[in-house]
Structure 1
Amino acid sequence: MKPLYAPLGQLRHAVATMTAAACASAFCALSSPALADVPAMLDPNLQVTTLINSGITQPIGIVFLGTVNDYLVLEKASGQVKRVIGGVLQAGVVLDLPVNSNSERGLLSMALHPNFPGTPYAYIRWTESSTGADSTAVSDVSLLGNRLDRFIWNGLSFSLDRNLIRLRARQTDNVAVPGHPGTNNANEAANHNGGVVRFGPDGKIYLFMGDQGRRGWMQNLANGPFLTAPQVDDTFGGPAPDNAHLSGVILRLNEDGTTPADNPFFAAGAAIGGEVGANIQKLYSYGHRNGFGMAFDPRSGALWETENADDAYAELNRVVPGMNGGWIQFAGPSSRVSDWKLIESTQFASALQQVRYPPTRAAYGSAAALSRLFMLPGAVYKDPELSWRYEIGPSGAAFVAGNALGPEYDGSLWIGSARSFDQVGGNGGSLYRLRLTADRLHVDVSADPRLADRVADNLFRAQKFDGTESETLRIGTGFGTTPDIQQGPDGNLYVVSITQNAIYRIGR
């Protein structure tokens, strides 16, 4: 799918008048909700109420400051963090960052230190504008314009403490690579930044970085995308994961940005040495495409992640240390490689975003595809816990702990949508609720025998997002594009809708 969080107009007629050049990619939401997106719960025991829907624009995250009556709202395109106390949006802002918000860039995520406010740190993932002011121009970023910074809270506002890491932001794949004429893309891009940052139960920082359209080691291409020398990734080098090619990964860092010595590839990186080796040491997992949801299971401590498809086989993964997710050799379960290749090479423009590595080069079968994976020492491949044959756009994710929503929801995993209903119809704007097996290792699919193979074989639609075989998973409708879901201090769920400029509360 290329790319997610796609544009939403104020009204349907406004959508029709937008030009493709002005809103051809993610997060181009305007200021009013779509007509078709009215939130509703499918369980009559649950109700949805609007927490806030004025004074905020393109909200992308909610962060509670200890109580349910004191929280922060992150705005993607303004780069502002606003505070709401007792239901009242406070005057001014607690932070204003100069962001580039083209496509999926912008202010993306915040995580408070586990000991906050005793340890008054906030960790913010954002894309810095190279102009020093908010910008929407695709080229207004430095090569390493995606940042993770630590900020200090003084009770009223945040101030910068330090930068922890800089990651790739500039996608100049429209520029031909020397020695490889004719393999460049048509336009510069700005998607696949990932951006979710979370603290794990181990006190470490987990950061999802999208693949940025790279085609190197971290995308299971040991020699890059080209068949002949020079075997690089792009105009900036590669395919090894130097600073410009560390993408499609989940990083695990100490709270000060240093690298934990117990990371799964710490020894492998030390053996390689240099910038590449140091980056490999930071890896928790790799072989990911792009995603907007990460959540830790409060019972098992396991990390779960939503991952978007290009066109075929969106994923829900339980990420294990040292995991290789399989991208770009395939998406979805390895047994479905042939079907994945068929869809990607014959439907929806027949491309995997970057034309220099077309899907026609993918393996025809499972064994061949698995043999092509770039496996670091100690790496392990595992199939997704659940996949959707055609893209359904899984987005923000959160676990429910406790009985505030009813005992039947304790331990369940909730997932939002990466596009609104008005954008794609079908199941756009839906919320999904999944139960896990007793051992907390898998999704419990017992409610629908069709999911026994752990694939929802939804049907072809020109806009994708068909809901076939997800009927037992669907729990809410009309929420728009939902990049963030959080369980509040009161046990209720709080759903952020970037397309409806609103935050909703789901309660009993």
Structure 2
Amino acid sequence: MEFVGDGDLLVLQKNGHVRLVRDGQLLADPVLVVETTPVREMGLLGIAKSGGAVYIYYTVPDADGNPLSNRIERYSWNGQSLVDPTILMELPANTYHNGGAMATGPDGQVYAVIGDTGKYGPLQNKGPESIHPPGTTDYLDTSVILRVDPPGPYYAVGVRNSFGLAFDPVTGTMWDTENGDDDSDEINMVPDGFNSGWEAVMGPATEEGLARMAGYEGYEYRDPEFTWHRPVAPTGIGFADFGAGEYDGSVFVGDCNHGRLYMFKMNQERDGFVFASPGLQDGVADEGDSLEEIVVAEGLGCVTNIRTGPDGYLYITSYSHDTVYRILPASAEQAQQPAEHTPGDPGVQPEEGGGCLIATAAYGTELAPQVQMLREIRDGKLLPTESGSAFMSAFNEIYYSFSPAVADLERESPALRAAVRGIIAPMLYSLSLMDLADGSELQTILLGTATIMLNVAMYAGAPAAAVLGVRGMVRGRPAKRVAVAAERGPA
């Protein structure tokens, strides 16, 4: 999202729609629609403004919906719509790790981040020897923070994937969030010429990691300012000007895995954080460390973006709640208010009950392809129809009565997470039947019924048949032994 004009708010939808919130009301018609493919980590991903120009970052699909490129375009805002598009950059793309976060520096320079796009290019601390042979792509525009407008040298390299960029309003220094692999999500201060360390290092560097790092001229590594050892999928990052000293000048970060908003108090030099909790003073949230000091809000769903509004308050978008939240200090007179929704618009309806809690915990993030598939079936195939919507309402009544407790147990047990992934794998495969639905009530009912029956057969019928078979074998064995004994006769 991005503020334009006199408090107008442009909000991105993953399906390629740019929506306008004016005076707290979401207007019915998009101000821009671009063709994209809103699945996995593709879609309309980033927005920024500089002066009267607005910049967007989105995935361009081919005829089959596969990613062709990540494109950055510049538009003019005329107060009602985005006009006069100019293509600025065509970047590599994949179904995941496309980055897309954008920000504008104090000097008006526009920046964007792109992840590794699942490809191992030379700017992931691989060194020149990893550049692909002539005639093939060398992925030079992956794992970097780009100077978009005006263009220039890479601002940073070695970025695995990021969903958050912001500038400290006091020092003008860039900060980002970065998603780790199996561990070590990060918050980084990002000076010009920063090497974030991927793929040699995630989290605080070891001597071995430093030895593996490529020596890019003009780029220097530094450890992250904060690391979560267990992934939380940090996303948006921002600074607030509440007018309340307890919060002003702090860094705020959202996450996707737990729906939390974190607050980090800056040190006097504003190049790191200060913590009262002994467990966090090393800048790492290890297993068992209390996060109470830094968690200031929960229940926000998958946070995707944080911006500071003209009023100094924080505005947060939630992907899984389809909501824009305004965050105020408790001392403020106004209550926290979400932006208004347009009734009947399936793209912005509040979610019924929340996210896919069990699958999210099993796969570690709402951005996992399996979780994305569940959301796409729910939002694209079921909720737009009366029968599908009725089914989801009944399903949610049951599902959310037990799923939060199961998800909590999963987060505490890697073995349980692995078991759940194995258990739900057949169900995920069977749900591909719903891709055949064309949006009609009849097809939704027929395919939905077939999918339910298939799952009943897999999860109830097959185990029941196995139990009956075993019981039959057990019952048959004594009779066979008696018959053999009778044939033998007395000894």
TM-score calculated relative to the size of structure 2: 0.64
> Structure 1 pair 328/234, CA: closer, same or farther in 2 (3 Å)?
farther
- Aligned with 1:312: secondary structure? coil
Q: Does 1:332 align with 2:233?
A: no
> Structure 1 pair 222/167, CA: closer, same or farther in 2 (3 Å)?
same
CA distance in structure 2 between the partners assigned to 1:80 and 1:315 by the alignment: 30
Give the equivalent residue in structure 2 for 1:297: 168
1:208, CA displacement in angstroms?
0.7
1:232 to 123, 132, 136: 132
Give the equivalent residue in structure 2 for 1:99: 36
Give the equivalent residue in structure 1 for 2:489: none
Contact 1:80-1:96 at 8 Å conserved across structures? yes
Equivalence map 1:107-506=2 (5 Å): 107-113=44-50, 115=51, 120-131=52-63, 137=65, 139=66, 141-142=67-68, 145-170=69-94, 190-222=95-127, 232=132, 236-238=136-138, 244-255=139-150, 258-259=151-152, 282-335=153-206, 366=207, 368-403=208-243, 406-419=244-257, 428-445=258-275, 447-459=276-288, 468-506=289-327
1:92, CA displacement in angstroms?
1.7
Larger radius of gyration: 2
**Equivalent position amino acid for 1:437 in 2:** N
1:74 to 4, 7, 12: 12
Q: Does 1:63 align with 2:2?
A: yes
Contact 2:88-2:148 at 8 Å conserved across structures? no
1:407, CA displacement in angstroms?
1.6
1:106-138 CA distances to partner (integer Å, 9 max, x unpaired)? 11111111x3xxxx311111111223xxx7x4x
- Aligned with 1:369: secondary structure? helix
Supply the RMSD in Å over aligned alpha carbons.
2.0
Q: What percentage of aligned pairs have identical amino acids? A: 36
1:369, CA displacement in angstroms?
2.2
CA distance in structure 2 between the partners assigned to 1:453 and 1:92 by the alignment: 49
**Equivalent position amino acid for 1:417 in 2:** D
Structure 2 unaligned regions, length at least 5: 333-491
1:235, CA displacement in angstroms?
9.7
CA distance in structure 2 between the partners assigned to 1:373 and 1:399 by the alignment: 31
- Aligned with 1:83: secondary structure? strand
**Equivalent position amino acid for 2:304 in 1:** P
CA distance in structure 2 between the partners assigned to 1:233 and 1:386 by the alignment: 38
CA distance in structure 2 between the partners assigned to 1:154 and 1:479 by the alignment: 32
CA distance in structure 2 between the partners assigned to 1:438 and 1:147 by the alignment: 39
- Aligned with 1:71: secondary structure? strand
Give the equivalent residue in structure 2 for 1:176: none
1:425-472 CA distances to partner (integer Å, 9 max, x unpaired)? xxx111101110011011112x1111221111025xxxxxxxx33221
CA distance in structure 2 between the partners assigned to 1:310 and 1:97 by the alignment: 31
Q: How many residues align?
A: 329
CA distance in structure 2 between the partners assigned to 1:233 and 1:441 by the alignment: 40
Bigger CA drift: 371-380 or 390-399?
Answer: 371-380
**Equivalent position amino acid for 1:442 in 2:** G
1:491, CA displacement in angstroms?
1.6
- If asked which structure has higher relative contact order (CA below 8 Å, sep 6+), I would say 1
**Equivalent position amino acid for 2:219 in 1:** A
1:234, CA displacement in angstroms?
12
> Structure 1 pair 89/254, CA: closer, same or farther in 2 (3 Å)?
closer
CA distance in structure 2 between the partners assigned to 1:75 and 1:196 by the alignment: 14
CA distance in structure 2 between the partners assigned to 1:498 and 1:156 by the alignment: 25
CA distance in structure 2 between the partners assigned to 1:483 and 1:93 by the alignment: 20
- Aligned with 1:409: secondary structure? coil
TM-score calculated relative to the size of structure 1: 0.62
Structure 1 unaligned regions, length at least 5: 1-61, 171-189, 226-230, 239-243, 260-281, 336-365, 420-427, 460-467
CA distance in structure 1 between the partners assigned to 2:134 and 2:121 by the alignment: 9
CA distance in structure 2 between the partners assigned to 1:418 and 1:224 by the alignment: 36
Contact 2:125-2:213 at 8 Å conserved across structures? yes
> Structure 1 pair 200/488, CA: closer, same or farther in 2 (3 Å)?
same
1:402, CA displacement in angstroms?
4.6
> Structure 1 pair 111/493, CA: closer, same or farther in 2 (3 Å)?
same
1:162-203 CA distances to partner (integer Å, 9 max, x unpaired)? 111111014xxxxxxxxxxxxxxxxxxx10011011110122
Contact 1:223-1:232 at 8 Å conserved across structures? no
Contact 1:214-1:245 at 8 Å conserved across structures? no
Bigger CA drift: 307-316 or 160-169?
Answer: 160-169
Give the equivalent residue in structure 2 for 1:45: none
1:90, CA displacement in angstroms?
1.9
1:224, CA displacement in angstroms?
6.1
